[in-house]
Structure 1
Amino acid sequence: MAAGVLSFPLTSFHDDGSLDPDGFRAHVAAQLATAPGAVFPACGTGEFFSLDEDEYRQVVTVAVEEAAGRTPVVAGTGYGWAQALRFARIAEEAGADALLVLPHYLVAAPQDGLVGQLERIAAGTRLPLIAYQRGQVTFTADTVRRIAAVPGVIGLKDGHSDLDRLQRLTLAAPEDFLFFNGASTAEIQARAYATVGVPAYSSAVHAFAPEIADAFFRALRDGDDKTANRLLRDFYVPLVEIRDRVPGYAVSLVKAAARLRGRPVGPVRAPLTDPTDSDLADLRTLLATGLDLVGATL
């Protein structure tokens, strides 16, 4: 997965909030045209939490059809293990290659419970699982050893950005266990993650400006600090500053930016809200700046 930016496509909705499969197909096709390392439909950026099972089936099926075996498709699943398995079986039937297990709903849980959750899901699906630690889910090094021994659990996505803890986790895991950076606006911390052996990362920016995301990825890969620093200073850091104004903007801003570029993704679903007019104006200006930096156009 470190061979390219990891794509987390947006789920397209019509203005009335209903699913727009055709819009989603066009969006996924555009994402795949940039050759990402993998595509992750129906995950956090794709508003998994607001999809019913039929919508989920449509979203994963479209992603698999568009990928056509050329790019791995890792579908999101989550909630408690029983509901996660319902989504997992749908993803299997749709032809997904693996599952990203999103943090469970509402309650904090002990380490034994976190292991049990993954054991239950792994026992009920043939698809490989990538665990996601974020929010109320935080694994210890001993727990990573245990989940890595569960047949079918192949990796961990980290959203905490505690690099001391993450280094301990990578050292505790087998060498073939996958890790990737799942922090919000992951490019901000990509270099830091790479220093502890985690070069792969997800990119929300790729969903609306793959030109910017790919330029940063290449700069990081090639050791071009001048380009990487310019993109961080003039685009990514200001983007984070807008993102942090309102809860949920980590998704809402991405969708708004995609709409600014004419992508057929539609609005977010409640409980998220679309950006205010003022924030949208700031986003438009910043997006133009970022595209100008890489020689693309709005």
Structure 2
Amino acid sequence: MSEISKGILGFPVAPLTKDNELDEQALFKNIEYLIDEKLDAIFIACGSGEFHALSTDEYRRMVEVAMSATKGAVPVYTGVGGNIAHAKSCARISEELGASGYLVLPPYLIEGNQEGVKHYVQELLEWTNLNAIVYQRANAVLQKDALEALLDYPHLVGLKDGIGNMDLNIELTQTFGDRLGWLNGMPMAEVTMPAYLPLGFDTYSSAISNYIPHISRMFYNALLEGDDAKVRELYRDVILPINAIRKKKPGYAVSLIKAGMEIIGLPVQGKVRPPISPVEPEHYRELEAIITHVYDKYPKINA
């Protein structure tokens, strides 16, 4: 079995200038921040990176920046999805630029049956030899038989769950065990991580790691160490309040990250591309109050 990074995964945003152009310098600094904060891998140009709104040129530049900023310190995975031709183009770019692998995002719009979804992933697996992680999300959810048919490809190394079907998660993890790495990709994965960890989901994508990564690490360590009191405390003070804001408006899964980054002084504006909208002023203030409280109560200790 091929190994993938375990722990907390960083999903950088796509910083935009006032003119709505990709800000490569800001992206570089933001990725450097995640590396300095000991995130275990970088997933570039995925959902948080507004994959849906990137041109092919912007996609290539984001991957180039990620490769340059990480300097081989951690694996770099890319987002690959949309229509199959575009997905294959992104996979090829990722391979050319030296990425460790890619995350298979859902195909565009069309609802396929299990055979169709399987073939979508299979075409990508046969297109490059890069490691691939399938993402259970939206119109692309593999059931047991379809996933099993893809396991002959050794470079299919992981599955990321974004739907929360625990019956299916139990069936898949208990059937395939350590053949795959298991990633929790639920929106604000900290909320569900205590339920996922016993199944073998020892890795998760953390949106809040973009602006309070020390809290992500504190929370995950508390889970691993069985410190239930610390887990409850972090739920009460940080995770559930932020999640409550995130659920107030569609698109906040992305724009709230940019707001948090802006609040702590990282080089990113709150600008997002349609159909996502910026965070409303009152919600921005609510997030700012939470982050201020976080840094007062849980100050970051530099190693």
Deviations 1:122-164 (A, max 9, x none): 1111211111011122221112211222342111110011112
Per-residue Cα deviation, 1:220-247 (whole angstroms, up to 9, x for no partner): 1222111111111221111111111110
Give the aligned partner of residue 117 of structure 1: 120
Paired AA for residue 193 in structure 2: A
Alpha-carbon distance in structure 2 between the residues aligned to 1:105 and 1:22: 30
Q: Structure 1 stretch 15-24 or stretch 264-273: which is displaced more? A: 264-273
| Residues 1:172 and 2:175 aligned together | yes
1:3 to partner: Cα distance: 4.0
Secondary structure of the structure 2 residue equivalent to 1:5: strand
Summarize the Cα distance change of 1:231–1:136 in structure 2 as closer, same or farther, 3 Å threshold. same
What TM-score, normalized to structure 1?
0.96
Alignment-derived partner of residue 41 in structure 1 = 44
Write out per-residue CA displacement over residues 190-234 of structure 1, whole angstroms, 9 at most, x where no aligned residue.
010012121211100001111211111221122211111111122
Indicate whether 1:283 and 2:290 are aligned.
Answer: no
2:217 to 199, 214, 217: 214
Letter in 1 for 2:183: F
Q: After the TM superposition, which residues 63-78 of structure 1 pair with which residues of structure 2 at under 5 Å, given as runs?
A: 63-78=66-81
1:274 alignment partner, one of 265, 274, 278: 278
Distance 2:291 2:51 in 1: 26
In structure 1, the residue corresponding to 2:282 is in which secondary structure?
helix
CA-CA distance at 1:2 after TM superposition:
6.1
Aligned partner of 2:256 in structure 1 is 253
Output the aligned Cα RMSD.
Answer: 1.4
Structure 1: give runs of 5+ residues left out of the alignment: none
CA distance in 1, matches of 2:220, 2:296: 17
- For the pair 1:294 / 2:301, whether they are aligned, the reply is no
TM-score (normalizing by structure 2) = 0.94
Amino acid at match of 2:289: T
Give the aligned residue type for 2:168: R
- CA distance in 1: counterparts of 2:107 and 2:296, whole angstroms: 40
Q: Distance in 2 between matches of 1:10 and 1:116?
A: 30
Check the 8 A contact 1:211/1:291 in 2, yes or no.
no
- Residue 135 of structure 1 pairs with residue 124 of structure 2: no
Q: Deviations over 1:54-75 (max 9, x none)?
A: 1111111111112111200001
Distance 1:158 1:98 in 2: 17
Instruction: Say yes or no: does 1:106 pair with 2:112.
Output: no
How many residue pairs align between the two structures? 297
Which one of the candidate residues 6, 11, 14 is aligned to 1:11? 14
Name the counterpart of 1:88: 91
Contact kept in structure 1, 2:7 and 2:202, CA below 8 Å: no
CA contact (8 A) 2:5 2:41 kept: no
Share of identical aligned residues, percent?
A: 35
Quote the Cα distance in structure 2 between the aligned partners of 1:122 and 1:137. 15
* Amino acid across the alignment from 1:93: E
Structure 2 counterpart of 1:293, one-letter code: K
Q: Secondary structure at the match of 1:35?
A: coil
Shift >4 Å, 4+ stretches: none
**Residue 61 in structure 1 maps to residue 64 in structure 2:** yes
Amino acid at match of 1:211: H
